[in-house]
Structure 1
Amino acid sequence: MKKTMLVQALVLAAASLAFGAHADTLKKIKDSGSVTMGVRESSGAMSYTLGDGKYAGFHFDVCSRVLGDIQKSLGLAKLDIKYQPVTSQNRIPLVQNGTVDIECGSTTNNATRQKDVSFAVTTFVTEVRIAVKANSGITSIAQLKDKSVATTTGTTSVQLLRKHERANGIDFKEVFGKDHADSFLLLESGRADAFVMDDYILAGLIARSKNPAGFKITGEPLSLEPIAIMIRKDDPAFKKAVDDSIIGMMKSGELEKLLAKHGLQPGADTKAAWAHPNDKPAEEYAKK
């Protein structure tokens, strides 16, 4: 036990020495000529794997352009971009400890997470909904009573489910997938009656399934979720560089083109976030 605590203390101390009380990611990038991008393997149109260490997605493209802008501003002839797959469970710790410099997946910006990390300006606003088999007869959250509901470990959907359960007295069993693809497999195989997640992730998984017509997204939205690129806390210079690049894409129309490239269209809330760039947490959207 003492040895474990010592190791943990040494790791924290090393992280503290590496970044100090005030992280300086731009200096780290300039000195090393490299940067590590956190990517997801099955986060719908935001970030997904193509296999062989290659990735794609809206946030992957956005981050690639952001890092291109940073490379130019730092005067680097070459920037080595390394890709680190992350999950819903480990993405925040890997940003905090310096393993990942910029996380380009499908992370919701909320007040709890803002205590540990920072977020760039919101790039997409989604609704949390439920996916079910088309012949299930389920059309609302209330019909999940006594059902098995899949969600992905480490996501905000877990919290939303629990809040909804307490508020409405719905008793259901939660089953957890290690990632979004695993959660969808629980639904596909019949081990879960529904899968609760961001609507664009559900849509992407359904579109790439063996039988897209066999599933549907239904029910009332659980919440609005501002999705943003995640970076280390207390690093204002890096945040400004990332924000400035993204805001430039908002103004030029490039952001909308990248979204359309991956089959998504900006809804009213996304358009509002682009018109007035901000890093407001999900709790602010709940007040609408």
Structure 2
Amino acid sequence: MKSTRTGLAAAAAVLALTVSACGSDDGGGGDAGSGGDGGGDSIRIGIKFDQPGLGLKQGEEYTGMDVDIATYVAGELGYSEDQIEWVQAPSAQRENLIATDQVRLIFATYSITDERKEQVSFAGPYFIAGQDLLVRSDDDSITGPDSLDGKSLCSVTGSTSAQNVQEEVPGVNLQEFGTYSECVAALQSGAIDALTTDDTILAGYAAQPQYEGQLKVVGNTFSEERYGVGLKKGDTELCQQVTDAINQMFEDGSWQAAVDDNLGQAGYQPGAGNPPTPDECA
């Protein structure tokens, strides 16, 4: 019996080695972490799961402008839609997801900054957003930060967006909630007067069916956020491929369709500089 057990163990070890050799060698499953720009089994892409109009997961369905742009870019890299594995990419985890090869690309309202470029590379930008205000559709009294004196303004706890406005307009009554969804509900009910964050995020909420015709983006941005595609630092070949795909999307009208389909219901129009000129991999 001892020799039989030894033989079985040896056979199992050989089988394990065979399976390992046939599988991924990127340490994370699939082909997303390797170079595979087309021809791989799958590609893992990070998005937000909780931003209507941008990156939203409902059951097994993924929707939003970031999702549509990511799907297009993946297609240009040689991956079909069913080869994309969507990975949740919360803001605080994005750099780690890239560095540890848990994702190949990130499309998640990922603003390009010098600080972030120390850890990751960016392709793009594919969109220029800006901080703005969301108000009720029948409220014409709020036209920008200068008109917020004495008004109640909502943003999420610890948001730099809210702090920026409070510094500029000391007379604003800042109310911080845990999520943007709570702020939007309070705005609709009249409990607050305005909500502030990136205009794309605001438009995404305003475009939701339950708020149709009730909310509007003021359209007076007072910052610039250059959304880029995050990828492994130093991967210049992939960076250029992604940038080329973004340019193609601008040229064939698919980018504008993605914006209109996801944010247009809120009457949102992209601000100055859109579509941008990708320059991160020039």
1:227 and 1:47 mapped to 2: Cα distance? 13
1:258 and 1:243 mapped to 2: Cα distance? 17
User: How many angstroms does 1:141 deviate by?
Assistant: 2.1
For residue 104 of structure 1, what is the aligned residue in structure 2? 107
> Cα distance 1:213–1:54, how it changes in 2: closer, same or farther (>3 A)?
closer
- Report the AA paired with residue 169 of structure 1: P
User: How many angstroms does 1:118 deviate by?
Assistant: 2.3
2:222 counterpart of 1:215: no
2:244 counterpart of 1:241: no
> Cα distance 1:117–1:170, how it changes in 2: closer, same or farther (>3 A)?
farther
For residue 44 of structure 2, what is the aligned residue in structure 1? 36
User: How many angstroms does 1:110 deviate by?
Assistant: 2.5
TM-score norm. by structure 2 comes to 0.70
2:231 counterpart of 1:231: yes
> Cα distance 1:96–1:145, how it changes in 2: closer, same or farther (>3 A)?
farther
For residue 85 of structure 1, what is the aligned residue in structure 2? 88
For residue 95 of structure 1, what is the aligned residue in structure 2? 98
Structure 1 unaligned spans of 5+: 1-16, 281-288
Query: CA offsets per residue over residues 11-50 of structure 1, 9 Å max, x none?
Result: xxxxxx969xxxx94426779732211122343433223x
2:65 counterpart of 1:58: yes
For residue 27 of structure 1, what is the aligned residue in structure 2? 35
User: How many angstroms does 1:205 deviate by?
Assistant: 1.2
- Report the AA paired with residue 68 of structure 1: G
For residue 23 of structure 2, what is the aligned residue in structure 1? none
> Cα distance 1:189–1:101, how it changes in 2: closer, same or farther (>3 A)?
farther
User: Aligned match of 1:118 in 111, 121, 134?
Assistant: 121
For residue 75 of structure 2, what is the aligned residue in structure 1? 68
User: How many angstroms does 1:128 deviate by?
Assistant: 1.6
User: How many angstroms does 1:129 deviate by?
Assistant: 0.9
Query: CA offsets per residue over residues 191-239 of structure 1, 9 Å max, x none?
Result: 6442102223222312325344443333742212222222232222221
Q: Matched residue of 2:222: which SS? A: strand
Query: CA offsets per residue over residues 145-189 of structure 1, 9 Å max, x none?
Result: 5655333468xxx334324433443454351434x4344234345
Q: Matched residue of 1:196: which SS? A: strand
1:105 and 1:160 mapped to 2: Cα distance? 17
For residue 11 of structure 1, what is the aligned residue in structure 2? none
1:231 and 1:118 mapped to 2: Cα distance? 5
Query: CA offsets per residue over residues 112-132 of structure 1, 9 Å max, x none?
Result: 332332221111222321113
For residue 252 of structure 1, what is the aligned residue in structure 2? 252
Structure 2 unaligned spans of 5+: 1-25
2:189 counterpart of 1:181: no
1:266 and 1:190 mapped to 2: Cα distance? 27
- Give every structure 1 segment of 4 or more consecutive aligned residues whose post-TM-superposition deviation is greater than 6 Å: 28-32
1:251 and 1:133 mapped to 2: Cα distance? 35
- Tell me which structure has the larger Cα radius of gyration: 2
Q: Does the CA contact (< 8 Å) of 2:38 and 2:77 recur in 1?
A: no
Q: Matched residue of 1:66: which SS? A: helix
Q: Does the CA contact (< 8 Å) of 1:48 and 1:55 recur in 2?
A: yes
Q: Matched residue of 2:224: which SS? A: strand
1:211 and 1:78 mapped to 2: Cα distance? 30
Q: Matched residue of 1:201: which SS? A: helix
> Cα distance 1:111–1:168, how it changes in 2: closer, same or farther (>3 A)?
farther
1:87 and 1:237 mapped to 2: Cα distance? 26
User: How many angstroms does 1:109 deviate by?
Assistant: 2.0
1:225 and 1:177 mapped to 2: Cα distance? 22
For residue 8 of structure 2, what is the aligned residue in structure 1? none
2:205 counterpart of 1:201: no
1:98 and 1:172 mapped to 2: Cα distance? 43
> Cα distance 1:261–1:212, how it changes in 2: closer, same or farther (>3 A)?
closer
Tell me how large the CA RMSD over aligned residues is: 3.6
User: How many angstroms does 1:269 deviate by?
Assistant: 1.0
User: How many angstroms does 1:55 deviate by?
Assistant: 0.8
